[in-house]
Structure 1
């Protein structure tokens, strides 16, 4: 890593603009196809997948312009530092599974809804699904941008609490077009609850990032664990008017856990912003 004295505002604004323009361009094509404005020659999920790379494309482009290939390689390497404590490995992998599983199980007691547990009943497929989620399911496409590029610069502007809340809000709003693309799980989710989740995820990932001496791999691993947990324990019924109580319960569980973490780690979350000479990747 090298010393980086760039003005966070001058890099963050272009990052967010490029990210949204890239992603929403492709996603809006899928949205229009979902509303039958035209017929696509290929499955619209292809456009969804391409658009998901917006944060990665933006981070690599801006890093490359400033620091060249050396900076790009440094950024990529920072996301694959697997040197985490056993505590962090277990916490990151198990917390999303426990919360999603608890929400789904509680909902099963409260209602007749029984989710699709195909993956849970076929444990040999869990690792392939996990790897897919890591490399193609959002983690690599997003976290090099959100937590690899934007978060270190936001921490120069604000304390960790405000930096995480701001990034979580932007991150949640970025997903907005997905809620209007048929066949996607987001099209059945409550957007307000989804925003609450991204705020919680952002706060938890910021905590893990700082607690692990700014190891970006914690964010990629947590993002993957969350997405995998939703495949193991689907919290929403994907049909109009379907049972979504488990999704609400899961959101409440994440809010509770996040609140406990903030209270316990209040000295970290409310500490002063980092000095402008702080090293970022």
Structure 2
């Protein structure tokens, strides 16, 4: 059964994307203008604030929904306790395993050997393991997933299947990242927008969108945060930059997401449990 999104859901998506892009790109434009490293003052402030665009967009949606007493979107996944949360540690292992697998396979095709030297240096620069974990959790997963998956995804799912919804958000997500290619010192800037590494970075956003979308449907935003964190942290620890390694990670992630999605039936019917006003 295919559902038709309400005018409120369509307007909600428009508001979310407008606020998200306006907030992020405005701050990242300031960072580009200031120049310098994104980890040094004063560039670090707009650089970090810009990453919270999806959360700000989510807050705008929730504020409007509460004010208008609109129902929660049908495909919103509430906080699930019990057996559903067992998916969180499983996905936290599977997601980074895709990065490790690609890195281990890379030497077979002429890519670099796996090395933790750069990762250890990064951890030392950040002040230790705990600051590294906190930064990897906040800058990306916590700043983005409540918006992309927790807010936009259920609204897109109202009219599209799981794969189509994830790929659509993946395309939007890839475009959202574009200013990072022009901020000196970012990984994307080092890749270069017009390069194989830059292209592969943008392409890997799509299987990531599928994987985080699957995680969200399984165990909510906590699971999508875990997937996002696991991949980002492993990419940083292994200092992935070779196009060969990136391409193999892309292939492994496509294989994993295909297997996971094939194992779970896609349904677009609206569960009545979600027709509850937010103000209750």
After TM superposition, the score normalised by the length of structure 2 is: 0.77
**1:28 corresponding residue in structure 2:** 29
Q: 1:79 to 1:175 in 2, by over 3 A?
A: farther
How many residues in Structure 1 have an aligned counterpart in Structure 2?
Answer: 254
Partner of 1:75: none
1:187-202 alignment, distance < 5 Å: 187-189=189-191, 190-202=197-209
Q: Which residue number in structure 2 is paired with residue 210 of structure 1?
A: 217
Change (3 A) 1:111 1:198: closer
Per mean C-alpha deviation after superposition, the further-off stretch among 156-165 and 116-125 is: 116-125
Please give the per-residue CA displacement for 1:17-67, whole angstroms capped at 9, x wherever unaligned.
1110110011112223449xxxxx933232110101111111112211331
Residue 180 of structure 1, CA deviation: 1.5
Query: How far did 1:230 drift?
Result: 1.4
Q: 1:85 to 1:15 in 2, by over 3 A?
A: closer
Query: Normalized against structure 1, the TM-score is what?
Result: 0.77
Aligned to 1:152: 154
The answer to which of 123-132 and 139-148 deviates more is: 123-132
- Preserved CA contact (<8 Å) 1:130 1:225: no
- Aligned-residue Cα RMSD (Å) equals 3.3
TM superposition shift of 1:96: 2.6
Whether 1:61 aligns to 2:66 is no
* Corresponding residue for residue 95 of structure 1: 94
Does the Cα contact within 8 Å between 2:201 and 2:246 map onto a contact in 1?
A: no
- 1:241-252 equivalences under 5 Å are 243-252=242-251
What are the equivalent positions in structure 2 for 1:85-124 lying under 5 Å apart? 85=84, 87-108=86-107, 110-111=110-111, 115-117=115-117, 119=119
Q: Counterparts of 1:132 and 1:79 in 2: how far apart (Å)? A: 26
The farther-off stretch of 123-132 and 100-109 is 123-132
Q: 1:17 to 1:119 in 2, by over 3 A?
A: same
8 Å contact from structure 1 (residues 92, 221) kept in 2: yes
Per-residue CA distance 1:182-226 (angstroms, 9 max, x = gap): 1111123434322322211111122222223xx221111111111
Deviations 1:149-202 (A, max 9, x none): 111111112122211111111111100110111111112343432232221111
Q: Does 1:233 align with 2:238?
A: yes
**Alpha-carbon distance in 2 for matches of 1:106, 1:95:** 16
The unaligned stretches of length 5 or more in structure 1 are 36-40, 72-77, 237-242
Cα distance 1:231–1:82, how it changes in 2: closer, same or farther (>3 A)? farther
Distance 1:52 1:264 in 2: 33
Report the counterpart of residue 221 of structure 1 in structure 2.
Answer: 226
Q: State which of 121, 136, 139 in structure 2 corresponds to 1:137.
A: 139
